[in-house]
Every structure is written in structure tokens, then in C-alpha cells.
Structure 1
Amino acid sequence: MKDYAPHIIKEGNLEFHLGRLEGSRVNYDFEKIWQYLLVKGKMLFGERFHLYEVDREVIYKLCLYMIKDAASCKKVGLDVNKGILLTGPVGCGKTSLMRLVKHIVPHVRSYEVIPTRNIVFAFNHIGYDTIQQFGNSKFFCLDDLGVEPTGRYFGKDCNVIGEVLLSRYELFLNHQVRTHATTNLNAKELEVHYGNRVRSRMRQLFNLVAFDKKSRDKRR
């Protein structure tokens, strides 16, 4: 197609070339993607936004995944058919990066970043329809996995996000619908919060991409 140019992104009067189009395939340039993410990040989050060299490996992996470079993803241990579970300490930039990196592929169906606590609050108001709503075929990134409160509807407690994850797992198996998530918790803490059954499903749902445990709080 003559006008097919997924590697060229326009932001107002600016035009960013993230690589070269070779036939129907884009040969992406990570340094050009990095520069675009810096600009787009400032547009989304304000002039204080910054990308840190210490996070380059994490950002590189996320970009490889977003552009669906299957061969390079395989080299760094990522399966393009699974979702991303981005882990790291509080304030290291997980949510901002998941909101940001999807913009490098505007031609690809995107996902909505939803705080898990908001899903639980919705459950508390309208009940089990909430689980069905977030267990549908839309693409979601479940933000702050594992720190949400227990849901309660008509006096009955429910591990809402655990149930949503089980629904998302069925969608993944039957319809290849991917789910992403961010969390401050480690594998053991997630298992305590959701139970072994959900934790087992999460291994099949997600690729693990992790910030260094010593990553500083960038919000300070």
C-alpha cells in the first residue's frame, strides 16, 4: 500500500521517523524510538518527564515487544503472544512506561491502562457484572496488581482481580486476547494475594519484565 507508513508518527507539526520501511516490513531504530518516547512522554506527563539510562534495558524490551520483533524478543526471553507483567519498586515508572510505549505503534490495536482499585470500586457498586466487563475481549493493562482492596458486594467478599485474571486467562486460551499488568509485588507476594491457581495462570498469561529492585523512586 503506497501510503502505508507505520514507522512515521506525527505529533502536531512534528514528524518522527522511527525506522525504515523495507517492503512491507519496518526496520525500527531503537535510538529514534528513544527520542520519540522522550518527546511523547513530555507531552503526556509534563516537562519534568525523563527517560533514564539505567532503565534502558527495560525500555528496550518493552519496545521490542510493542513492535512485535519476534526474533529479538525470543533472544531476551519474551513471547510476543503473551502479555507483559512489568514489575518494580514503587515510583520506578512502571505505569508511565505502559501508558507511553503503546504510542510507538499507533497502527496496532491498543490497550487501556486501568488501576485495579478502580475495578474493585466498580465491583462494590454494581457487583459481578464488573468481572464480566473486564473479562471481555478488550485489551487492558491492570495497573498496581495486588495492592487493591478486597471487593465486597451485598456483604460477600470477593477477590475481584483474581476473578478477572481467571476470565482473562480463558480469553487468552480461547481467543488469544492479551492482558498486561504492573505490580510492586514479587511472585511469592502475588501468590499469597491471589492463590496458587491464579498465580499458575499468570505464568501462562504474562512475560515478566522487571526493573532492578534498587530502582529509585522517580516521583521524589
Structure 2
Amino acid sequence: MDNPCKIVEGGIEYSLGNYDGSYVQYDFSKILIYLNCKGKLLFGKRFKIYKEDKVILLKLCSYFTRDEINCKKYGLDINKGILLSGPVGCGKTSLMKLLRHVVPQQRPYEMIPSRNVSFSFNHLGYKTIEDYGNTKFFCFDDLGVEPPGRFYGKDLNVMGEVLLSRYELYLDTKHRIKTHATTNLNAEELESRYGNRVRSRMRELFNLIAFDETAKDKRK
């Protein structure tokens, strides 16, 4: 069997830990070296890992590498998805695009801008809810700032309906379908946007990992 903690990028082999043939012991410092390299390949030479983000990254890496000891320490449920929240420009989308690559042997998730889901509903109607309420793994980017959906004169909180569909899938123990999301909104704003019922389901769907509200805008 191939070593799951060795990844080749641009002809260079990165070791993310030790593999004894049945179990991987990941090394966070080695994962950071790999993420810094992969980030530059994906987002350009200006990409870098910020010192102040290392606690967030440790939580995310613990989750994606299924490190049960650290996940328990951080209150993370490996069976739930991730809701990564924080101010505009703090790097949420980049990190969720990046972390997929740490565990290439795991089932990947597709990054979908939430606004695209609303736009799709405006063109295709309720088929959109079915399309995103399926057994694929998704990460819905910028949850909560998408425009409302409107199809043949009927308004719909599209992402709210998609999340309810994803929740029903999550309860299906045969699949344990993962849903991830990023958002600029806090808990009160999400509840105001989607209502109490959806907010309640989100608590069961997601582990919340939050940047500090003073996190700087890295795009400036």
C-alpha cells in the first residue's frame, strides 16, 4: 500500500508524518511546511501561513487527519462537517481549498459559492435543491450573504432549504454525508438569515471553528 502521509508536489516529496503500515502519526510542523508549499502553488507566491492562524490550522488539521485525541481536546466531532467563520479576507476560503490536499486518500469535497446555488435556483428552480441535497461532499463558501432565490414569482431561502436537505442526508447513517461551509456571519446573524429551525440543524451538522473577530484582512 502507498504511504498515505507522503505527497509529491512539483517533483518534491513531502512527508507529513510517520506510517507504520497500518497507522499514520501526523506531524503538525511537517503539515505546515507542506501547506505553505501547496498554498503557493494554488494561490501564488504571496501566500503564506500566518503565525496567528496556527491554532485554527491545528484544529482543522486535527479534524481532517482524524486525530481523535486532539479533536476531543478541541471539542470536534469527526462525523460532523466544519463551519469556518471569521471576518472578510481572513483566509477562510483559501484554507478550506487547501486542507483538502492534506488527506488525498479521503473523499474530497467540492467548493461551491453559496451565491451560485441561489443563481442556479433562479434558473432551474427546485431541481437545484435536489442537486445540492445529494450524496456528494460540498463546502458552501460565503454562507449567509447569497441573494434570496426567486423562481416563477416565488421567493425561497435557497441555502436554508439546501442545509435542511443536507441535514436529512446526515441523519442517514448509511452515508454520514459531510457538509462544510465558510461564513462571515456570527451565530445571531445566521439565525436571523435562516431562522431558528435551520440554525438548530446547523449545530448538528457542523463543528464551529472561528477566527477571532479582529483577524486582519490578508487581501490588503
TM-score tier, shorter chain, comes to over 0.9
Per-residue Cα deviation, 1:67-93 (whole angstroms, up to 9, x for no partner): 011221011110001000000000000
Shift of residue 12 of structure 1? Answer: 2.6
Q: 1:23-102 counterparts in 2 under 5 A?
A: 23-102=21-100
**Aligned residues between the structures:** 218
Three-state SS of the structure 1 residue aligned to 2:166 is helix
Q: 1:99-114 counterparts in 2 under 5 A?
A: 99-114=97-112
Percent identity, aligned pairs only, is: 63
1:216 is matched with 216
2:169 is matched with 171
CA distance in 1 between partners of 2:92 and 2:70 (Å)? 22
Three-state SS of the structure 1 residue aligned to 2:101 is helix
Three-state SS of the structure 2 residue aligned to 1:49 is coil
- Aligned letter for 1:217? D
1:127 is matched with 125
Shift of residue 22 of structure 1? Answer: 2.1
Gapped regions of structure 1 (runs ≥ 5): none
CA distance in 1 between partners of 2:118 and 2:12 (Å)? 40
CA distance in 2 between partners of 1:183 and 1:32 (Å)? 28
Gapped regions of structure 2 (runs ≥ 5): none
Three-state SS of the structure 1 residue aligned to 2:41 is helix
Shift of residue 109 of structure 1? Answer: 0.4
Per-residue Cα deviation, 1:105-136 (whole angstroms, up to 9, x for no partner): 00110100100000110110111000000000
TM-score, structure 1 length as denominator? Answer: 0.98
CA distance in 2 between partners of 1:214 and 1:18 (Å)? 31
Shift of residue 4 of structure 1? Answer: 2.6
Shift of residue 23 of structure 1? Answer: 3.4
Q: 1:177-196 counterparts in 2 under 5 A?
A: 177-196=177-196
Per-residue Cα deviation, 1:13-69 (whole angstroms, up to 9, x for no partner): 110000000230000000000000000000000001011000000011000000011
Moved over 4 A (4+): none
Give the RMSD, CA atoms, in angstroms: 0.7
Shift of residue 6 of structure 1? Answer: 0.4
2:199 is matched with 199
- Aligned letter for 2:142? D
